[in-house]
Structure 1
Amino acid sequence: MNYPSYDVAVSKNKSRYEFISVGRKGHIRKIVEYSYLDGLNLWNLGFGDFDPISNKIDDEVISDNGDGRKVIKTVALTLVQFLEAYPKETVIFMGSDSRRTLLYNRIVSQFYNEFSEKLLISGWSQEGIEIDIETGKQYIAFIIRKSS
Protein backbone atom coordinates (compact mmCIF):
# COMPACT_ATOMS: atom_id res chain seq x y z
CA MET A 1 0.00 0.00 0.00
CA ASN A 2 1.64 3.14 -1.18
CA TYR A 3 0.18 5.96 0.87
CA PRO A 4 1.97 9.29 1.18
CA SER A 5 3.47 10.39 4.48
CA TYR A 6 4.32 13.69 6.14
CA ASP A 7 7.81 15.09 6.56
CA VAL A 8 8.91 14.80 10.18
CA ALA A 9 11.24 16.76 12.43
CA VAL A 10 13.37 14.31 14.43
CA SER A 11 15.10 14.88 17.76
CA LYS A 12 18.86 14.25 17.94
CA ASN A 13 18.43 11.01 19.88
CA LYS A 14 15.69 9.84 17.47
CA SER A 15 13.14 9.37 20.27
CA ARG A 16 10.76 12.21 19.34
CA TYR A 17 9.16 12.95 15.98
CA GLU A 18 6.93 15.88 15.09
CA PHE A 19 4.86 16.61 12.04
CA ILE A 20 1.88 18.70 10.99
CA SER A 21 -1.36 17.05 9.91
CA VAL A 22 -3.04 19.15 7.23
CA GLY A 23 -6.72 18.56 6.59
CA ARG A 24 -10.27 19.74 6.85
CA LYS A 25 -9.79 20.99 10.43
CA GLY A 26 -6.61 22.88 9.62
CA HIS A 27 -3.05 22.27 10.76
CA ILE A 28 -2.63 19.96 13.77
CA ARG A 29 0.73 19.34 15.40
CA LYS A 30 1.33 15.62 15.96
CA ILE A 31 3.96 14.03 18.19
CA VAL A 32 5.36 10.51 18.19
CA GLU A 33 7.51 9.83 21.23
CA TYR A 34 9.42 6.70 22.22
CA SER A 35 9.96 6.39 25.96
CA TYR A 36 11.92 3.68 27.73
CA LEU A 37 9.99 1.49 30.16
CA ASP A 38 12.40 0.73 33.01
CA GLY A 39 12.43 -2.86 34.14
CA LEU A 40 10.65 -4.12 31.02
CA ASN A 41 13.48 -3.55 28.54
CA LEU A 42 10.92 -2.07 26.11
CA TRP A 43 10.22 1.27 24.49
CA ASN A 44 6.66 2.59 24.45
CA LEU A 45 5.39 4.29 21.30
CA GLY A 46 3.34 7.29 22.40
CA PHE A 47 1.36 9.23 19.81
CA GLY A 48 -1.13 12.06 19.78
CA ASP A 49 -1.82 15.73 19.22
CA PHE A 50 0.38 18.29 20.91
CA ASP A 51 -1.56 20.22 23.54
CA PRO A 52 0.03 23.69 23.84
CA ILE A 53 -1.78 24.39 27.12
CA SER A 54 -0.40 21.38 29.00
CA ASN A 55 2.70 21.12 26.79
CA LYS A 56 2.03 17.37 26.54
CA ILE A 57 0.84 14.76 24.06
CA ASP A 58 -2.92 14.20 24.11
CA ASP A 59 -3.38 10.55 23.12
CA GLU A 60 -7.14 10.57 23.67
CA VAL A 61 -8.19 13.35 21.30
CA ILE A 62 -9.89 12.45 18.01
CA SER A 63 -8.60 14.88 15.38
CA ASP A 64 -10.65 13.61 12.44
CA ASN A 65 -8.65 15.82 10.09
CA GLY A 66 -9.38 13.66 7.03
CA ASP A 67 -5.79 12.50 6.55
CA GLY A 68 -5.79 9.36 8.71
CA ARG A 69 -3.92 7.10 6.30
CA LYS A 70 -1.21 9.68 5.79
CA VAL A 71 -0.87 10.14 9.56
CA ILE A 72 -0.74 6.37 10.14
CA LYS A 73 1.89 5.88 7.44
CA THR A 74 3.96 8.68 8.99
CA VAL A 75 3.79 7.12 12.47
CA ALA A 76 4.78 3.73 11.02
CA LEU A 77 7.76 5.29 9.26
CA THR A 78 8.92 6.84 12.56
CA LEU A 79 8.92 3.32 13.99
CA VAL A 80 11.17 2.15 11.17
CA GLN A 81 13.48 5.14 11.71
CA PHE A 82 13.60 4.58 15.48
CA LEU A 83 14.50 0.91 15.07
CA GLU A 84 17.11 1.72 12.44
CA ALA A 85 18.75 4.02 15.01
CA TYR A 86 18.32 1.43 17.80
CA PRO A 87 18.32 -1.95 16.01
CA LYS A 88 18.54 -4.08 19.16
CA GLU A 89 15.58 -2.43 20.92
CA THR A 90 11.97 -3.53 21.13
CA VAL A 91 8.92 -1.24 20.92
CA ILE A 92 5.45 -1.87 22.30
CA PHE A 93 2.27 0.03 21.53
CA MET A 94 -1.32 -0.34 22.60
CA GLY A 95 -4.49 1.67 22.52
CA SER A 96 -5.36 4.03 25.37
CA ASP A 97 -8.92 2.64 25.27
CA SER A 98 -10.86 -0.19 23.57
CA ARG A 99 -11.78 1.95 20.55
CA ARG A 100 -8.13 2.78 19.85
CA THR A 101 -7.11 -0.83 20.44
CA LEU A 102 -9.54 -1.87 17.69
CA LEU A 103 -8.17 0.88 15.45
CA TYR A 104 -4.57 -0.27 16.01
CA ASN A 105 -5.56 -3.84 15.16
CA ARG A 106 -7.02 -2.64 11.85
CA ILE A 107 -3.93 -0.54 11.14
CA VAL A 108 -1.51 -3.39 11.78
CA SER A 109 -3.58 -5.69 9.54
CA GLN A 110 -3.67 -3.06 6.81
CA PHE A 111 0.07 -2.29 6.84
CA TYR A 112 1.40 -5.70 7.93
CA ASN A 113 2.61 -6.83 4.49
CA GLU A 114 4.31 -3.52 3.76
CA PHE A 115 6.27 -3.35 7.01
CA SER A 116 6.79 -7.04 7.85
CA GLU A 117 9.86 -7.16 5.59
CA LYS A 118 11.63 -4.59 7.80
CA LEU A 119 10.00 -5.31 11.15
CA LEU A 120 9.17 -8.34 13.27
CA ILE A 121 5.60 -7.73 14.40
CA SER A 122 4.27 -9.81 17.30
CA GLY A 123 0.88 -9.56 18.93
CA TRP A 124 -0.02 -9.79 22.60
CA SER A 125 -3.38 -11.50 22.96
CA GLN A 126 -5.22 -13.07 25.89
CA GLU A 127 -3.36 -16.29 25.08
CA GLY A 128 0.05 -14.57 25.37
CA ILE A 129 2.58 -13.20 22.91
CA GLU A 130 2.24 -14.56 19.39
CA ILE A 131 5.18 -14.30 17.03
CA ASP A 132 3.05 -14.94 13.95
CA ILE A 133 0.03 -12.66 14.19
CA GLU A 134 -3.23 -13.64 12.54
CA THR A 135 -5.15 -11.17 10.41
CA GLY A 136 -8.55 -10.52 11.96
CA LYS A 137 -7.53 -11.61 15.45
CA GLN A 138 -7.72 -8.95 18.15
CA TYR A 139 -4.56 -8.12 20.07
CA ILE A 140 -4.14 -6.08 23.24
CA ALA A 141 -0.77 -4.71 22.15
CA PHE A 142 1.87 -5.08 19.47
CA ILE A 143 5.55 -5.71 20.02
CA ILE A 144 7.87 -4.61 17.24
CA ARG A 145 11.56 -5.29 16.57
CA LYS A 146 13.80 -4.74 13.60
CA SER A 147 14.12 -7.85 11.46
CA SER A 148 17.64 -9.22 10.98
Structure 2
Amino acid sequence: MNKPKYLCRSGKSLFVFKFTSKGSKGLVEKIIEYTATDSDNIYNLGFGDYDPLNDTMNDLTITDNGDSNKVLATVASTVYTFTDEYPSAMILFTGSTPARTRLYRMAITINLAEISQDFVIFGYSNDRNWEEFVVNKSYHAFLVTRRENEYTL
Protein backbone atom coordinates (compact mmCIF):
# COMPACT_ATOMS: atom_id res chain seq x y z
CA MET A 1 0.00 0.00 0.00
CA ASN A 2 1.26 3.40 -0.87
CA LYS A 3 0.60 5.06 2.51
CA PRO A 4 2.93 6.44 5.20
CA LYS A 5 4.10 3.64 7.46
CA TYR A 6 6.65 2.89 10.14
CA LEU A 7 9.88 1.00 9.58
CA CYS A 8 9.56 -2.55 10.95
CA ARG A 9 12.18 -4.82 12.45
CA SER A 10 11.94 -8.56 11.86
CA GLY A 11 13.93 -11.75 12.05
CA LYS A 12 14.73 -13.90 9.03
CA SER A 13 11.57 -16.01 9.29
CA LEU A 14 9.31 -12.92 9.09
CA PHE A 15 6.91 -14.36 11.67
CA VAL A 16 7.40 -11.42 14.06
CA PHE A 17 7.63 -7.72 13.23
CA LYS A 18 8.17 -4.86 15.67
CA PHE A 19 7.94 -1.12 15.21
CA THR A 20 7.53 2.04 17.27
CA SER A 21 4.41 4.17 17.07
CA LYS A 22 5.17 7.89 17.50
CA GLY A 23 2.32 10.18 18.45
CA SER A 24 0.57 12.26 21.08
CA LYS A 25 1.10 9.61 23.79
CA GLY A 26 4.81 9.29 23.00
CA LEU A 27 6.68 6.23 21.76
CA VAL A 28 4.76 2.95 21.91
CA GLU A 29 6.30 -0.37 20.89
CA LYS A 30 4.03 -2.48 18.64
CA ILE A 31 4.31 -6.10 17.59
CA ILE A 32 2.82 -8.09 14.73
CA GLU A 33 2.92 -11.89 14.91
CA TYR A 34 2.08 -14.46 12.25
CA THR A 35 1.15 -17.80 13.81
CA ALA A 36 0.48 -21.05 11.96
CA THR A 37 -3.00 -22.47 12.45
CA ASP A 38 -4.16 -26.08 12.28
CA SER A 39 -5.01 -25.55 8.60
CA ASP A 40 -2.30 -25.79 5.96
CA ASN A 41 -0.98 -22.42 4.78
CA ILE A 42 -3.35 -20.40 6.99
CA TYR A 43 -1.62 -18.01 9.40
CA ASN A 44 -3.24 -15.89 12.08
CA LEU A 45 -2.15 -12.25 12.14
CA GLY A 46 -1.92 -10.95 15.71
CA PHE A 47 -1.19 -7.32 16.46
CA GLY A 48 -0.92 -5.16 19.57
CA ASP A 49 1.24 -3.23 21.98
CA TYR A 50 4.50 -4.95 22.88
CA ASP A 51 5.54 -5.36 26.51
CA PRO A 52 9.33 -5.86 26.44
CA LEU A 53 9.48 -6.66 30.17
CA ASN A 54 7.29 -9.74 29.73
CA ASP A 55 7.94 -10.28 26.00
CA THR A 56 4.19 -10.33 25.38
CA MET A 57 1.58 -8.69 23.16
CA ASN A 58 -1.51 -6.89 24.44
CA ASP A 59 -4.15 -6.69 21.72
CA LEU A 60 -6.73 -5.03 23.97
CA THR A 61 -4.84 -1.82 24.79
CA ILE A 62 -6.24 1.38 23.34
CA THR A 63 -3.14 3.44 22.64
CA ASP A 64 -4.91 6.42 21.03
CA ASN A 65 -1.58 7.79 19.79
CA GLY A 66 -3.15 9.70 16.89
CA ASP A 67 -1.45 7.60 14.21
CA SER A 68 -3.92 4.77 13.60
CA ASN A 69 -3.81 5.11 9.79
CA LYS A 70 -0.02 4.88 9.80
CA VAL A 71 -0.14 1.91 12.21
CA LEU A 72 -2.69 0.05 10.04
CA ALA A 73 -0.62 0.79 6.92
CA THR A 74 2.41 -0.65 8.72
CA VAL A 75 0.52 -3.82 9.62
CA ALA A 76 -0.71 -4.12 6.03
CA SER A 77 2.84 -3.71 4.73
CA THR A 78 3.88 -6.79 6.71
CA VAL A 79 1.21 -8.82 4.92
CA TYR A 80 2.96 -7.94 1.67
CA THR A 81 6.36 -8.85 3.13
CA PHE A 82 5.10 -12.09 4.69
CA THR A 83 3.36 -13.26 1.52
CA ASP A 84 6.40 -12.34 -0.58
CA GLU A 85 8.31 -14.91 1.49
CA TYR A 86 5.38 -17.35 1.81
CA PRO A 87 3.35 -16.81 -1.39
CA SER A 88 0.83 -19.59 -0.76
CA ALA A 89 0.00 -18.26 2.73
CA MET A 90 -3.51 -17.18 3.59
CA ILE A 91 -3.66 -14.56 6.34
CA LEU A 92 -6.51 -14.74 8.85
CA PHE A 93 -7.31 -11.78 11.10
CA THR A 94 -10.05 -10.29 13.22
CA GLY A 95 -10.26 -7.51 15.76
CA SER A 96 -9.85 -8.27 19.45
CA THR A 97 -13.17 -6.43 19.89
CA PRO A 98 -16.15 -5.86 17.57
CA ALA A 99 -15.14 -2.20 17.27
CA ARG A 100 -11.69 -3.17 16.04
CA THR A 101 -13.13 -5.67 13.56
CA ARG A 102 -15.32 -2.83 12.25
CA LEU A 103 -12.22 -0.58 12.03
CA TYR A 104 -10.45 -3.25 9.95
CA ARG A 105 -13.51 -3.56 7.68
CA MET A 106 -13.54 0.20 7.15
CA ALA A 107 -9.80 0.25 6.40
CA ILE A 108 -10.24 -2.56 3.87
CA THR A 109 -13.15 -0.69 2.27
CA ILE A 110 -11.20 2.57 1.96
CA ASN A 111 -8.21 0.79 0.42
CA LEU A 112 -10.07 -1.96 -1.47
CA ALA A 113 -9.10 -0.87 -4.98
CA GLU A 114 -5.40 -0.85 -4.09
CA ILE A 115 -5.50 -4.03 -1.99
CA SER A 116 -7.45 -5.91 -4.67
CA GLN A 117 -4.64 -5.42 -7.17
CA ASP A 118 -2.54 -7.91 -5.19
CA PHE A 119 -4.91 -9.77 -2.86
CA VAL A 120 -8.26 -11.52 -2.75
CA ILE A 121 -10.11 -10.69 0.46
CA PHE A 122 -12.72 -12.91 2.07
CA GLY A 123 -15.03 -12.11 4.97
CA TYR A 124 -16.56 -14.55 7.46
CA SER A 125 -20.20 -13.50 7.56
CA ASN A 126 -22.97 -13.71 10.15
CA ASP A 127 -24.35 -16.81 8.42
CA ARG A 128 -21.03 -18.56 9.13
CA ASN A 129 -19.79 -18.63 5.56
CA TRP A 130 -16.68 -17.29 3.88
CA GLU A 131 -17.40 -15.05 0.91
CA GLU A 132 -15.46 -12.61 -1.18
CA PHE A 133 -15.41 -9.26 0.67
CA VAL A 134 -18.47 -7.06 0.13
CA VAL A 135 -18.31 -3.36 0.97
CA ASN A 136 -20.52 -2.27 3.91
CA LYS A 137 -21.19 -5.82 5.04
CA SER A 138 -20.32 -6.87 8.59
CA TYR A 139 -17.86 -9.70 9.09
CA HIS A 140 -16.45 -11.55 12.08
CA ALA A 141 -13.07 -12.23 10.47
CA PHE A 142 -11.10 -11.67 7.29
CA LEU A 143 -8.84 -13.84 5.17
CA VAL A 144 -6.48 -12.54 2.50
CA THR A 145 -4.39 -14.36 -0.05
CA ARG A 146 -2.25 -13.27 -2.96
CA ARG A 147 -4.35 -12.78 -6.07
CA GLU A 148 -2.29 -15.30 -8.05
CA ASN A 149 -3.43 -18.04 -5.64
CA GLU A 150 -7.14 -17.41 -6.39
CA TYR A 151 -8.49 -19.68 -3.66
CA THR A 152 -12.20 -20.19 -3.32
CA LEU A 153 -13.69 -20.94 0.08
**TM interval, short-chain normalised:** over 0.9
Aligned to 2:61: 61
What does residue range 31-110 of structure 1 map to in structure 2 within 5 Å? 31-38=31-38, 40-41=39-40, 42-110=42-110
TM-score using structure 1 length: 0.93
SS in 1 for 2:121: strand
Q: Percent identity?
A: 38
Distance in 2 (CA, whole Å) between partners of 1:82 and 1:99 is 26
Distance in 2 (CA, whole Å) between partners of 1:136 and 1:2 is 23
SS in 1 for 2:57: strand
Shift of 1:78: 0.3
Shift of 1:2: 4.4
Distance in 2 (CA, whole Å) between partners of 1:2 and 1:147 is 18
Gaps of 5+ in 1: none
Distance in 1 (CA, whole Å) between partners of 2:55 and 2:83 is 26
Superposed CA offset, 1:24-54 (max 9, x none) = 111111111100012x221000000002343
Instruction: Report how many residues are paired.
Output: 146
Distance in 1 (CA, whole Å) between partners of 2:60 and 2:48 is 7
CA RMSD of the aligned region, Å?
A: 1.3
Contact 2:24 / 2:65 at 8 angstroms: preserved in 1? yes
Distance in 2 (CA, whole Å) between partners of 1:9 and 1:2 is 19
**Does the alignment pair 1:129 with 2:125?**
no
TM-score using structure 2 length: 0.90
Shift of 1:103: 1.3
Gaps of 5+ in 2: 149-153
Contact 1:84 / 1:146 at 8 angstroms: preserved in 2? no
Matched residue type, 2:131: E
Distance in 1 (CA, whole Å) between partners of 2:108 and 2:74 is 14
Distance in 2 (CA, whole Å) between partners of 1:7 and 1:52 is 18
Contact 2:90 / 2:143 at 8 angstroms: preserved in 1? yes
Aligned to 1:144: 144
Moved over 2 A (4+): none
Distance in 2 (CA, whole Å) between partners of 1:83 and 1:3 is 19
Aligned to 1:13: 13
